[in-house]
Amino acid sequence: MEVNKLNGAPVSASEFVKNEVAADAANAIEVAHIVKKFGDFTAVDDVSFQVKEGEIFGLLGPNGAGKSTLIRMMTTLIPITAGSARIAGHDVSKEPDAARRTIGVIPQALTSDLDLTVEENLTIYAKLYDVPTKHRKEAIEELLETVDLTKWREAQTKTLSGGMRRRLEIARGLVHSPKIFFLDEPTTGLDPVSRVAVWEMLTNIKSKRKLTVLITTHYMDEADRLCNRIAIVDHGKLVALDTPEALKASVPGSNVIEVQFDNPPADWEQKLRALLEVTSVQNESAGMFRVLTGNGSRTTTDLVGMAVEAGVPVRTLTVQNTTLDDVFVHYTGRQLRDELVKAYSFMMPPRPGMQP
Ligand SMILES: Nc1ncnc2c1ncn2[C@@H]1O[C@H](COP(=O)(O)OP(=O)(O)O)[C@@H](O)[C@H]1O
Ligand SMILES: [Mg+2]
């Protein structure tokens, strides 16, 4: 058992150790004032950032934020309206072939061929990328091992679960040993166990290869655990960029109290806001408040005292450290999970009594 240097808590070997990036690493990706318009609509609006060699860089944002459009531009799949992107030193508009040779791409939609076996899917890609025959066998062998699909090599791809298919596609994206790996929402739609398996796979791959990773996600926990730095994108704009730790520290308040009251009076939100150390209050739904504070235990005591005095029953109360969710609310004024519920609500059966 190792000891996690950051907080001294014991962690098992399978638990997460963050990727380290050399301080003097060169830039693998340089995006400058990049814009994408579809007709009159601006999907990506003047975004600039750099990713260092060896870094795991996350693009985080709700559906429609422009994450896939950014990836498509960086990977030469769609033309850039304005600005520029350099991948491993190659301008994607001027030297698309040179840029393409350095990258591996896992698009958002699953694209492996269902009628082929696992191994055939990898072999076809290796041939497409001119991986020399001698290398091909070796590379495929190693990758099957890495993504834990060796015993499924003969299986038809259509018989795999979603998580296994994702792992196959990750292996496929690496057969030509790219330097820079783009993954567009690799874990969306996977169950929690498969999501963790994909994270482990990526960390495992990172430890064996010199690889820069750009990953998009709308899962906060994923970005937090995996990424060295995170860019929060909303409505095509970059609204914040830093390490997860620095982003969390940039939000005023260090604890979040989620508390549900029974029939609080109309001025309750103001009263909560007036408590010592409270930096912001959001009324999420009837009686439900999200309170950010610099001192969780003090505010909890004061808040419960105030409720008892006013005869307002407290139904539930939780105190947590600030998370990237709070960072998202801070920079965009909205909850990421609300945005996702909106985006995916068409997929859910209507609840009784819900308006059509
Ligand atoms: N080919 C296209 N034509 C028109 N609009 C598009 C096209 N591709 C994406 N968009 C729009 O651009 C915005 C960003 O989309 P996308 O990059 O797919 O977002 P994300 O990947 O963050 O969910 C969305 O509003 C989407 O509808
Ligand atoms: Mg997308």
| CA of 65, nearest ligand number | 1
Give the phi and the psi of residue 250 in degrees, each rounded to 5: -75, -15
217 lines ligand 1 (CB under 6 A): no
pLDDT of residue 191: 85
- Protein residue closest via CA to atom 6 of ligand 1: 38
DSSP-assigned states of every residue in 12-42: -TTS-------TTPPEEEEEEEEEEEETTEE
How many alpha carbons fall within 13 Å on the CB side of residue 251?
Answer: 28
Of 34, 37, 38, 342, the one to substitute when testing ligand 1's pocket (max ligand atoms within 8 A of C-beta) is 38
User: Which of 244, 266, 285 is the C-terminal boundary of a domain?
Assistant: 244
What Cα–Cα distance (Å) separates residue 326 from each residue in 248, 294, 335? 8, 13, 8
Which atom of ligand 1 lies at the shortest distance from residue 36's CA?
Answer: 12
| CA of 232, nearest ligand number | 1
Which atom of ligand 1 lies at the shortest distance from residue 70's CA?
Answer: 17
| CA of 109, nearest ligand number | 2
| 337 lies in some domain | no
| 68 lies in some domain | yes
Shared-domain flag, residues 102 and 218: yes
| CA of 61, nearest ligand number | 1
- Protein residue closest via CA to atom 5 of ligand 1: 38
Shared-domain flag, residues 155 and 64: yes
- Protein residue closest via CA to atom 1 of ligand 1: 38
- Protein residue closest via CA to atom 17 of ligand 1: 66
Which atom of ligand 1 lies at the shortest distance from residue 59's CA?
Answer: 22
What domain count does the chain have?
2
CB 212 within 8 A of CB 51: yes
321 C-alpha to ligand 1 centroid (Å): 33
Of 44, 47, 63, 69, the one to substitute when testing ligand 1's pocket (max ligand atoms within 8 A of C-beta) is 69
Please tell me the distance from the alpha carbon of residue 47 to that of residue 195, in angstroms, as a whole number. Answer: 29
Question: pLDDT 10s per residue in the chain (356 long)?
Answer: 333 333 333 334 345 567 788 888 899 999 999 999 999 999 999 999 999 999 999 999 888 999 999 999 999 999 999 999 999 999 999 999 999 999 999 988 888 899 999 999 999 999 998 899 989 999 999 999 999 999 999 999 999 998 899 999 999 999 999 999 999 999 888 888 888 888 888 888 888 888 999 999 888 888 888 999 999 999 999 999 999 988 988 887 788 899 999 999 999 999 999 999 898 899 988 899 999 998 888 899 999 999 999 999 999 999 988 888 888 888 887 776 666 666 555 444 444 444 44
Give the phi and the psi of residue 76 in degrees, each rounded to 5: 70, 15
62 lines ligand 1 (CB under 6 A): no
| 110 lies in some domain | yes
Which residue bears the tokens 């808040």?
303
67 lines ligand 1 (CB under 6 A): yes
Question: Which neighbouring-strand residues pair with 85?
Answer: 31
What's 231's domain CATH number? 3.40.50.300
41 C-alpha to ligand 1 centroid (Å): 10
User: Which of 244, 272, 293 is the C-terminal boundary of a domain?
Assistant: 244
pLDDT of residue 7: 38
Shared-domain flag, residues 230 and 283: no
pLDDT of residue 303: 94
Shared-domain flag, residues 31 and 86: yes
Angle at CA 347, nearest 5°, toward 344 and 350? 105
Residues of the domain holding 33: 14-244
Please tell me the distance from the alpha carbon of residue 181 to that of residue 343, in angstroms, as a whole number. Answer: 27
Residue (of 103, 202, 189) closest to 143 by Cα position: 202
| 7 lies in some domain | no
| 256 lies in some domain | yes
66 lines ligand 1 (CB under 6 A): yes
pLDDT of residue 17: 65
131 lines ligand 1 (CB under 6 A): no
User: Which of 244, 275, 308 is the C-terminal boundary of a domain?
Assistant: 244
Shared-domain flag, residues 186 and 46: yes
Query: Token pair for residue 170?
Result: 């990750």
| CA of 62, nearest ligand number | 1
